[in-house]
Every structure is written in structure tokens, then in C-alpha cells.
Amino acid sequence: SQKIEQNSEALNIQEGKTATLTCNYTNYSPAYLQWYRQDPGRGPVFLLLIRENEKEKRKERLKVTFDTTLKQSLFHITASQPADSATYLCAPRLNAGNMLTFGGGTRLMVKP
């Protein structure tokens, strides 16, 4: 069966450091993968989309990599700030479908 794995334990880092979150998937060949941010009590907010032919995508302090051989996406936040504290969800999209499948998310805590 298809499965997405994100670290269920919270990631605690110091302000100013780079946060790296991992998304692993099995039995997938996703053509696209999206990352969302979710704050407590709110709906997810779209951050980045990366296609299978793109190895890396950047947006301001955010960077996403997509390794289809390792079946893994890494999400980086450079110069992290306490305001970056949230849960981050990865969502591969199957090539033949239009449905997102969400991972359980990783909670990031950035301490001042």
C-alpha cells in the first residue's frame, strides 16, 4: 500500500539555524509533491510545489528537494525564526490522479 512518512516527533531548533524536515514515501511514483504549513486550530497553507523533473525549488528562506530515486523530499527553512514554529505537511500527488495524499506532518519548534 502507498505510504508517506514524516517524523512524528517534534523538531526543536534554535533561532537562526536551518531546519530540515523529511518526507519519505513508499510505493509511489509521484509526479508532484507539495508542502503545506499548518498552525494550531487553522487550515493548512500552501508553501511550495516541486515536480519530479525538478531537483530543487526555492522560495525566500524555504528550499525543497525531491529525490525520486531515494523516494524522499527534504524541506529546509534557513535562518529560522520563532514565527516559523508550526506543523509542516508533505503531500505527494500521483501522476495519474488529482488527489493529494497528506503525511501526518512534523511539528517544528524554533526557540529564541
Partner 1 sequence: NAGVTQTPKFQVLKTGQSMTLQCAQDMNHNSMYWYRQDPGMGLRLIYYSASEGTTDKGEVPDGYNVSRLKKQNFLLGLESAAPSQTSVYFCASSYGSGVGYEQYFGPGTRLTVT
> Which among 67, 79, 91, 75 is positioned nearest to 2, based on CA atoms?
91
Q: Is the dihedral of CA 31, 58, 41, 103 positive or negative?
A: positive
Q: How far is the CB of 17 from partner 1 (least distance, A)?
A: 26
Neighbours of 12 (CB within 10 A): 12
By the rule CB under 8 A, 11 interacts with partner 1: no
User: Considering beta carbons, is residue 34 or 73 the nearer one to partner 1?
Assistant: 34
Question: Shortest Cβ distance from residue 22 to partner 1 (Å)?
Answer: 15
Q: Which stretch binds partner 1 (CB under 8 A): 17-25, 53-61, 66-74, 85-93?
A: 85-93
